[in-house]
Amino acid sequence: MAEAIQEIIVATKNAGKVAEFKMALSGLPYRVLALADLGCFPEAPEEGQTFAENACFKAKFYAKLTGKLCLADDSGLEVDYLNGAPGVYSARYAGEHATDADNNQKLLEQLAEAVPEQRAGRFRCVLVLADSEKIWCTADGTVEGVVLSEARGNNGFGYDPLLFIPERGRSLAELSAAEKNEISHRGRAIRELVKQLAVLEK
């Protein structure tokens, strides 16, 4: 099966994500490319109600445009007190053109009345590998934490300074890149995807 599909297109314009996927899949017989390697493509609409729906749509959207196997992800922060919000709206929680600081500020405002025991949350990442006709693999990864009342740390991005990881005793933004990759939602989802692809190779 793999001999017929030698390339995987990472359906993102984020160079950091592309590098991460290239490294993770380096032990498998696939050539990993970025969308930019094939040309200029429009943004895929994100209209799903779940991370899985968005990732699936993005993977198929770019698979149809490129004619190749595509890997897409969708991820964000889920807070129990907010019934799973910001969820799929994580990147635009405070508005379409919101900055990380805007989103973090809105999250803190929404949790102003929440006591520590109510501030459980997690980052979730869903990966979907698909061609234009079918889904090949899906993988889900989470990292559990507690939303802080103020930002801590200067590493990472997005909501990283606000999600405290009890098992590490620090926020995600206080971890080094290597430490974060060990436990991150995307790192866990990628490792699960690699396992599934390895099984397909057999």
Name the residues annotated as catalytic.
74
Q: What single-letter DSSP state applies at residue 96?
A: T
- Separation between Cα atoms, residue 12 and residue 89, nearest integer Å: 17
Which amino acid, residue 12? Answer: T
- Separation between Cα atoms, residue 173 and residue 121, nearest integer Å: 15
DSSP result, 141-168: EEEEEEE-SS---SSS-TTGGGEEETTT
- Separation between Cα atoms, residue 58 and residue 71, nearest integer Å: 8
By the 10 Å C-beta count (0-12 exposed, 13-18 middle, 19+ buried), 54 is classed as buried
SS3 for 18-55 is HHHHHHHCCCCCCEEEEHHHCCCCCCCCCCCCCHHHHH
What residues does 117 pair with on adjacent strands?
Answer: none
- Separation between Cα atoms, residue 180 and residue 103, nearest integer Å: 21
